[in-house]
């Protein structure tokens, strides 16, 4: 029986909507499932009630009786109110089972028909509540759900605690939530002591920026820009209630706040966090205003800004809980960022400008002084604008492009229309800084705003390029902008070079045409050289070099040298689309892994110093790729996830980072996660119309499927990759390195002829380009083809050679895979005389060295699985005299499995011979039964016997 309560949430709170609490939710749910009780605690608005309702909704169905109460502060003075909520609707059920004195005391307390108090009826009431719960538990499990324990009336809290401490051994569980404040707060201790002994407490902490973005999106505020979401996260401190209220206020606001302006803090939140401000003196409140206006306020800064009694006034604020106390740090820190934001937001504009004016002379940092000067000034002022532009350049040099963008926008606001440089030029510079900082939404908004006013071709083309650049790999969405950009460019070679550089990317991403992309990049480089635009020339040459490298074009080394010639532009030299990146790709594809690692490490260090987010995403991914090649799977996994988290946070490079993270998970982590990430990458690439990364994402999916024991899935995915790369004009097999995986999967599904075709065509290009590691992997795959045809001596020799070469080239994981295949092959030969554990020693050692956990698990399964079957050629039922004619209509894999069944092989033996999983054999047999109209393995044998008898 579930007791309905009027205060219960009308909407079902599903666990999948408890954003950012997956681990906590799972832990609490598991503890409830084990029979224990749970206490959730954390500050106001942190999401305790949401998690409580979700847990009650999911776990409540297992209880016969669910008792609920939810206290409020305004009703906490009413005695026995929470007890009435809990037991009021079950009183008639339990009262007859209580002793008379207990029944009388309980009815009096719950109904109010008689005078009852803990003082007068204390023992009877305590025993009555305990007996009532035991009576309910005798009929089935009981779950007590109590929210906001801190507001429980004292009488109910005492009675519930008395009973809870004595319920051990009965099927009564508590699911409670209580408000606590600080991170180290022990306020929940007294509530924990009032819970059953098996209660476990879970503290809810702040949400991450990504989780806040998910929450806002789920609640209908997904249109907010990433920069705004970042500010919401900072201001809310990761508190979901505060974040939602800020998001709602921003959604209701017709225009977003300008740089330097506060977020519109709604009245509800101001009242919540500023209720203690009225207890401050006027002077102390002014001191806090100056502190809220400063970036990093200290008592010394406040004194320099004219607040002579700053220490005493801050101490007063700290006593009221408005400031955090930290004896180790000199900074003045608000107890919560929302206090600072709300105080600043509700202060009249003239007082805010006065605070900024005081800080503009008190601050020691030139960037801070310029920012405060701007926020203290109204209207245009060329001197203020110039100081802001200088501060933006300084921030840019310091590697703070986000700060540079904000200062640039402030500079544009204060720049008179007839100035040189003008306001639009400064806005465009701010947009380019925003791109560097990874704030694409802000950059795009600025550029579109410029396009509504600008008439000069140079400003319009520059703005078009920003809009196109911020589209990233979703260029199909901005395809219609290119004719407008070309029209604005006219016959100016500098402007045309900018447009044709982006047209090269369009050819690659939208059209999937490497040849056209290469030609467009070469044309852009020529135009830029004529227009004396070295930066665009270098970017175009680097793009051309990358395209030629992936195409296997003979001009690639020459183009890389041209892109690396002096003079260089530092903005390009360390850019993810620059010559350094092109050279890295050439090194990786040419098996020069040590030099590639050194190159990418330098690039990554520099872009981090510069604050270039997109380049950091790219170079983290590139370094993870090198580590994966060298067999450092654990390190590769860490780097790949760093790249993916950053990509998801800024919305840049998600497809590529998900693809690479899938590869690292399949090699050194969790195969299920690898499959999910690969499918995510495929989905994004298809949605974006991104032909270039679609093939890479499918390649990752095929590899994950191979590791997961699904060779048929691998064949489907990688056959598609093969067609895509043929259409793209990619001939270098070192680009995706999927060819050996496809050949291996084809052998496993019984298509050795197609596997050999893949190997032969790939080997031709690998020989031409000198791709030694690719050739070794192809040899490993070809050995499996030979083994499938029964040529085991040649297969063993080829595998031994491949393993040796891969080890010398430094490809640790591929070396381990060769050793694994070699062990399995040797054990299939009856004359080998090897003990199984000994045979797999080498593969296990290599996989452990690489931390290749999924592959190591395969080794362990091979060691503990059934004895391998002596090697025989894979039967080819086509052309075999005694093969039943009824098998002719089956697919190749199905024919092979059926033929082995006819020989008496078990499912495990068939799996070992065909290099597939037992599940694959079982699924194949199911299809065979359906096609042949039979029900079991015995029927296959009968068919064979009948055919031979005839």
Q: Which of 2-11, 67-76, 316-325 has the lowest mean pLDDT?
A: 2-11
Q: Which of 589-593, 709-713, 824-828, 851-855 has the lowest mean pLDDT?
A: 824-828
In the predicted model, what is the mean pLDDT of the chain?
86
Q: Where are the beta strands (DSSP E) in 132-193?
A: 142-147, 172-179
- Tokens of residue 210, six digits: 């990504």
Percent of the chain with pLDDT over 70: 90
- At residue 932 the predicted structure's pLDDT band, cuts being 50, 70 and 90, is confident
Pairing of strands 333-334, 65-70: unpaired
How high is the pLDDT of residue 235? 86
Between these two residues, 35 and 900, which has the higher pLDDT value? 35
DSSP calls for 748-792: HTT-HHHHHHHHHHHHHHHHHHT-HHHHHHHHHHHHHHHHHTT-H
- At residue 502 the predicted structure's pLDDT band, cuts being 50, 70 and 90, is very high
**Which DSSP letter does residue 37 get?**
E
How high is the pLDDT of residue 764? 94
**What span, in angstroms and rounded, lies between the C-alpha atoms of 783 and 609?**
48
Q: Virtual CA dihedral for 167, 168, 170, 172, nearest 10 degrees?
A: 60
Of 537, 586, 591, nearest in space to 566 by CA:
537
Q: Which of 741-750, 802-811, 928-937 has the lowest mean pLDDT?
A: 928-937
**What span, in angstroms and rounded, lies between the C-alpha atoms of 557 and 145?**
70
- At residue 278 the predicted structure's pLDDT band, cuts being 50, 70 and 90, is confident
Greatest mean pLDDT among 101-115, 169-183, 272-286, 716-730: 716-730
How high is the pLDDT of residue 190? 67
Between these two residues, 6 and 20, which has the higher pLDDT value? 20
Give the CA distances from residue 493 to residues 237, 415, 461, 525, in Å, rounded to whole numbers and listed in that order. Answer: 49, 29, 12, 10
**What span, in angstroms and rounded, lies between the C-alpha atoms of 821 and 815?**
10
Residue written as tokens 């000199």?
330
Contact yes or no for 370/390 (Cβ under 8 A): yes
Query: What would the pLDDT profile of 881-929 be if each residue is shown by its tens digit?
Result: 344 455 666 766 777 788 888 777 778 777 766 656 677 778 778 878 8
How high is the pLDDT of residue 168? 82
* pTM, two decimal places: 0.75
């Amino acid at each position: 029986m579930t007791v309905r309560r009027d205060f219960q949430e009308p909407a079902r709170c599903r666990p999948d909507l408890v954003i950012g609490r997956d681990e906590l939710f799972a832990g609490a749910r598991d503890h409830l499932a084990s029979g224990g009780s749970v206490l959730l605690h954390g500050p106001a608005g942190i999401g305790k009630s949401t998690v409580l309702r979700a847990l009650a909704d999911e776990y409540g169905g297992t209880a016969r009786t669910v008792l609920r109460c939810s206290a409020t502060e305004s009703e906490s003075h009413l005695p026995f109110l929470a007890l009435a909520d809990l037991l009021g609707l079950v009183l008639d059920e339990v009262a007859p089972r209580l002793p008379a004195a207990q029944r009388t005391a309980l009815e009096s307390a719950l109904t109010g028909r008689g005078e009852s108090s803990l003082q007068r009826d204390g023992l009877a009431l305590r025993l009555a509540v305990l007996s009532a719960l035991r009576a309910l538990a005798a009929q089935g499990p009981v779950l007590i759900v109590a929210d906001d324990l801190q507001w429980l009336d004292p009488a109910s809290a005492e009675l519930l605690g008395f009973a809870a401490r004595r319920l051990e051994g009965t099927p009564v569980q508590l699911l409670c939530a209580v408000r606590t404040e600080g991170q180290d707060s022990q306020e929940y201790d007294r509530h924990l002591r009032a819970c059953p002994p098996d209660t476990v407490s879970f503290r809810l902490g702040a949400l991450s920026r990504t989780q806040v973005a998910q929450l806002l999106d789920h609640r209908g505020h997904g249109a907010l820009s990433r920069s705004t979401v970042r500010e919401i996260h900072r201001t809310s401190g990761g508190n979901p209630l505060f974040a939602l209220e800020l998001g709602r206020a921003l959604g209701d606001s017709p225009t977003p706040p300008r740089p330097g302006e506060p977020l519109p803090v709604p009245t509800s939140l101001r009242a919540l966090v500023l209720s203690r401000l009225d207890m401050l003196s006027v002077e102390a409140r002014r001191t806090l205003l100056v502190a809220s206006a400063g970036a990093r306020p200290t008592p010394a800064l406040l004194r320099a800004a004219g607040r002579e009694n700053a220490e005493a006034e801050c101490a007063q604020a700290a006593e009221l809980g408005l400031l955090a106390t930290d004896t180790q740090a000199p900074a003045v820190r608000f107890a919560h960022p929302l206090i600072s934001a709300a105080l600043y937001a509700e202060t009249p504009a003239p007082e805010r400008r006065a605070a900024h004016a005081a800080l503009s002379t008190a601050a020691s940092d030139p960037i801070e002084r310029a920012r405060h000067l701007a926020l203290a000034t109204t209207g245009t002022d060329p001197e203020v604008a110039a100081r802001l532009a200088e501060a933006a350049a300084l921030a840019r040099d310091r590697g703070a492009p986000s700060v540079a963008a904000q200062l640039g926008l402030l500079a544009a606001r204060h720049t008179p229309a007839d100035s040189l440089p003008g306001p639009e030029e400064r806005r465009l510079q701010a947009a380019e800084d925003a791109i560097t900082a990874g704030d694409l939404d802000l950059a795009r908004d600025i550029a579109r705003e410029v396009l509504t006013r600008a008439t000069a071709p140079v400003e319009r083309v520059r703005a078009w390029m920003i809009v196109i650049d911020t589209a990233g790999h979703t260029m199909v969405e901005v395809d219609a902008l290119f004719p407008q950009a070309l029209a604005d460019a006219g016959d100016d070679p500098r402007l045309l070079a900018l447009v044709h550089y982006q047209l090269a990317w369009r050819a690659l991403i939208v059209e999937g045409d490497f040849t056209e992309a290469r030609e467009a990049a070469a044309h852009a480089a020529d135009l830029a050289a004529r227009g004396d635009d070295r930066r665009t020339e270098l970017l175009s040459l680097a793009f051309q070099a990358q395209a030629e490298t992936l195409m296997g074009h003979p001009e690639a080394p020459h183009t890389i040298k041209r892109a690396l010639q002096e003079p260089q532009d530092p903005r390009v030299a360390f850019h993810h689309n620059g010559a350094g990146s092109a050279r890295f790709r050439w090194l990786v594809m040419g098996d020069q892994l040590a030099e590639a690692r050194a190159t990418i490490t330098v690039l990554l260090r520099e872009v981090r110093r510069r604050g270039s987010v997109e380049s950091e995403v790219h170079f983290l991914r590139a370094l993870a790729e090198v580590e994966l090649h060298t067999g450092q799977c654990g390190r590769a996994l860490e780097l790949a996830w760093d790249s993916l988290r950053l990509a998801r946070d800024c919305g840049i490079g998600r497809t590529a980072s998900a693809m690479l993270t899938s590869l690292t998970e399949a090699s050194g982590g969790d195969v299920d996660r690898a499959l999910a990430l690969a499918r995510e990458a495929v989905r994004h690439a298809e949605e974006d119309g991104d032909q270039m990364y679609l093939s890479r994402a499918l390649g990752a999916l095929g590899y994950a499927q191979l590791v997961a024991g699904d060779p048929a899935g691998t064949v489907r995915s990688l056959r598609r990759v093969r067609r895509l790369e043929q259409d793209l004009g990619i001939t270098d097999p070192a680009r995706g390195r999927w060819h050996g995986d496809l050949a291996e999967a084809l052998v496993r599904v019984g298509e050795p002829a197609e596997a050999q075709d893949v190997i032969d065509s790939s080997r031709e290009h690998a020989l031409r380009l000198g791709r030694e590691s690719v050739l070794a992997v192809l040899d490993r795959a070809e050995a499996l083809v030979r083994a499938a045809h029964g040529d085991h001596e040649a297969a063993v020799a080829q595998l031994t050679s491949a393993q040796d070469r891969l080890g010398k080239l430094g490809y640790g994981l591929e070396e381990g895979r060769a050793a694994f295949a070699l062990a399995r092959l040797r054990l299939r030969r009856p004359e080998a005389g090897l003990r199984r554990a000994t045979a797999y020693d080498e593969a296990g050692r290599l996989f452990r060295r690489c931390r290749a956990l999924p592959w190591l698990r395969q080794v362990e399964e091979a060691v503990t699985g059934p004895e391998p079957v002596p090697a025989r050629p894979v039967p080819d039922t086509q052309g075999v005299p005694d093969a039943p004619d009824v098998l002719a209509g089956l697919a190749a894999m199905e024919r092979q499995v059926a033929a082995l069944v006819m020989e008496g092989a078990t499912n495990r033996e068939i799996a070992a011979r065909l290099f597939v999983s037992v599940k694959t054999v079982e699924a194949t047999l199911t299809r065979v039964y359906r096609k042949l109209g039979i029900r079991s393995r015995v029927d296959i044998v009968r068919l064979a016997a009948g055919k031979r008898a005839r």
